Structure 1
């Protein structure tokens, strides 16, 4: 198939802010001899987006994530952003020429609506620190609302916190240390709590858990919109000069869970998720997936009964702030009920889908699950989950499209058994999908694959 490339309208804002914590920006004063570039995806409805420099694809990131920091010589480079469609074709989003400077990290941020691709760029001077760190802050929350960022040493209340940055949408602010002295304007590596309020307000919208700021580097605090059980609540991302982005939800944020009853030997299950203060009862028909239930974060015990009695009791389920979790009830190898629980993505499922894939068949040591597009076979399929053990869950990211789901047990390279092959299935709805391989006495092979959402 010939690739038909789509170009979106570009509203690209280049904010080259020379934010030096100390000293000037002359090349001679920088302790770093190279130039640097990093990409962060701050577009809530985006697909996984790839960064390319001078026609070389480096890596990419999904919403709220970043690439590693790449090193280049100072000078102009061609920067491209792209995504991949369901046919595996690259879709160009934006192309720009950007200037890289010695000793400076160019932080490229994708922002706003993905249909109108918008990028902002910030210049951050690299520095050497002695057991200390520097901090910058920005807001990626669309709508023009400004936010104030406060910090406090761990163990102290908001009344003892310090305003370190006032942020605006798509602008970068150099945070101000509250206790500078003649030797340093930086924070000591330690545990801190972050608070977020609307601009000029003392009403706390967000409070982080204690965060260990353990690296001698420049951090960028990104205030963005949450998704999943956090709804429109805020999330705080902390970027540094690595590929790891640590994301923090409000310590009072809710969680959500749902339950899939894969058993077909009883009409319905009575399932109860119980905490110390509240219980959440559900009636779930056989081969059915419940709706998500919003609950307070915490530790819970899960029990399940039918008309014959108790089938599962006191299974520990932990739901942390902002968690979205699914519990699958199924039979183990001895025919008794057991369960697996896994976290589901809270990212918007628009262009890409993060699928959880579970093997509920005890007959085989491992199975392979293939997601086969119209022009592929299992041998050429790009998307697959290999060696999935019984009672094990794995994840895979798929672009929107139609796929056959094929389950195979491969005893050796020349001895493979087809367990199930579905028809073409549409995986494009804005939903969290689950794929299960299960026993099925009505199937010609004795097994079936279910696509749940």
Structure 2
């Protein structure tokens, strides 16, 4: 039986109101997938390599057997801190491959293999495979743990979990738990666990909990989770790994259920934001001559960004978790340009707020005709200042890099622009990597290390128009990028394309 590529189920960090519902859903899904009375074991893969590209995990019953009855399943695009669903398997031997897509094809035969191994699946045992360490010298570690299916857990309303410490800067850690309405003062120590050693199974009452990490015998809290509800008698894995966020905590916590995963950052951790001024000067904005000042306001906190010129990014500002109201003024005249726009900053995230101008044709009578006098020109336009909030991608990979494409070209003639990433043996029409960027709508593409000629191409009736082109070199030292498309009266084409690090 051959399977298609399978993408992992992704559950991102949510606000407190959604956590209980989400974990309840994951638990309910998980409980139906395991059947310990059948002659099965199970397998799961988790990516703990922080600078890895998105990985592929293949299970193959027989490398030499092309028969459709032989199991061959590939789980695809498994990023840092992500896991496959747990898969039930017959109690036989399997070949395993961990690989990444270094070329255009995602076919198994074209992947770059990082690890190959074999596994003997045992009845009622979960074989957990963890990719750990720098991807250029990574290790694939196997852990075996019993699949817990105790009838008493349902009767006594208990759930099960084990802990794995994958933070190489901490040889030993202590886990504490409290109920959701308690603090660390009421928390009880659960277990001490060592680096790369899977803890014994633990049982707790089915409740809503907060998790804390300390050093053994210490009361200083190094990590505190948001509250998580565990309403079912299921089995979980708690994975402690280094945080790649912008806050001060060294830890993040991934909770793996049978079918999915949930990432938790240090609760209350600060985040960061910065601002980009993409607002063009315009005859209808006489008070704006090229600089903006921005005020971010939340309960108990205000942050101001002053005198930011066109085409510039501000510095990055640390800010507490919360919901912020944005007010924008023209720096020279203090004329309001925008007010009460929302940006929400969660723990450990870095967001960039792009301000830009949009022109809209005025249709006073609502009949859809914006050229009432029939002279071939729009009778009247109005301008608006808008904000676009983009979350920066902080997962820095050695071999692949995230490109967030942002089209700020406000031109009715070019409602969308295609960006082509052209390699040395390609032309625009043969380029394998491209995306369509609509106005003020972020899109993204992951690019492997190489040298590219990047072209921004728009369509005018039957003609293709090159608006801008730039050279892009990506290597192991490169960072994730914003690719900005904007109007520019000083350039020969009237447009420009710029590249900026997402995490400066």
Question: TM > 0.5 between the two?
Answer: yes
Residue in 2 that maps onto 1:31 = 37
- For residue 300 of structure 1, the aligned residue among 324, 348, 355 is 324
- For residue 426 of structure 1, the aligned residue among 461, 473, 484 is 473
Distance 1:259 1:201, change over 3 A: same
Distance, in Å, in 2 between the alignment partners of 1:427 and 1:272 is 36
Verify the 8 A CA contact 1:153 1:193 in the aligned structure 2.
Answer: yes
Verify the 8 A CA contact 1:419 1:446 in the aligned structure 2.
Answer: no
Distance, in Å, in 1 between the alignment partners of 2:144 and 2:428 is 46
CA offsets 1:388-432 (integer angstroms, 9 cap, x no match): 4322112322223222333344689xx463353423312344433
Whether 2:424 is the aligned partner of 1:374: answer yes
- For residue 161 of structure 1, the aligned residue among 180, 187, 192 is 187
Pairwise CA RMSD? 2.7
Residue in 1 that maps onto 2:12 = none
Verify the 8 A CA contact 1:407 1:419 in the aligned structure 2.
Answer: yes
Distance 1:420 1:37, change over 3 A: farther
Residue in 2 that maps onto 1:354 = 402
Residue in 2 that maps onto 1:20 = none
Residue in 2 that maps onto 1:192 = 209
* Structure 1 residue 103, shift from structure 2 partner: 3.0
Residue in 2 that maps onto 1:394 = 443
Distance, in Å, in 1 between the alignment partners of 2:278 and 2:140 is 45
User: Would you tell me which structure has more helix in proportion to its own residues?
Assistant: 2
Verify the 8 A CA contact 1:142 1:169 in the aligned structure 2.
Answer: yes
Whether 2:54 is the aligned partner of 1:48: answer yes
> Rg bigger for which structure?
2
Whether 2:277 is the aligned partner of 1:261: answer yes
Distance 1:217 1:376, change over 3 A: farther
Residue in 1 that maps onto 2:485 = 437
Whether 2:136 is the aligned partner of 1:120: answer no
Residue in 1 that maps onto 2:454 = 405
* Structure 1 residue 380, shift from structure 2 partner: 4.3
CA offsets 1:202-235 (integer angstroms, 9 cap, x no match): 2211111111235553211111111231255211
What is the TM-score normalised by the length of structure 2? Answer: 0.74
CA offsets 1:116-152 (integer angstroms, 9 cap, x no match): 2212111233344647531111111003421111222
Distance, in Å, in 2 between the alignment partners of 1:382 and 1:240 is 37
Residue in 1 that maps onto 2:161 = 135
Q: Which stretch of the first structure deviates more once superposed, 359-368 or 314-323?
A: 359-368
What is the TM-score normalised by the length of structure 1? Answer: 0.82
Residue in 2 that maps onto 1:80 = 97
Whether 2:199 is the aligned partner of 1:173: answer yes
Distance, in Å, in 2 between the alignment partners of 1:214 and 1:366 is 47
Distance, in Å, in 2 between the alignment partners of 1:121 and 1:218 is 18
Verify the 8 A CA contact 1:434 1:452 in the aligned structure 2.
Answer: yes
Verify the 8 A CA contact 2:270 2:319 in the aligned structure 1.
Answer: yes
Q: Which stretch of the first structure deviates more once superposed, 122-131 or 41-50?
A: 122-131
Distance, in Å, in 1 between the alignment partners of 2:290 and 2:56 is 47
User: SS of the counterpart of 1:172?
Assistant: coil
Residue in 2 that maps onto 1:229 = 246
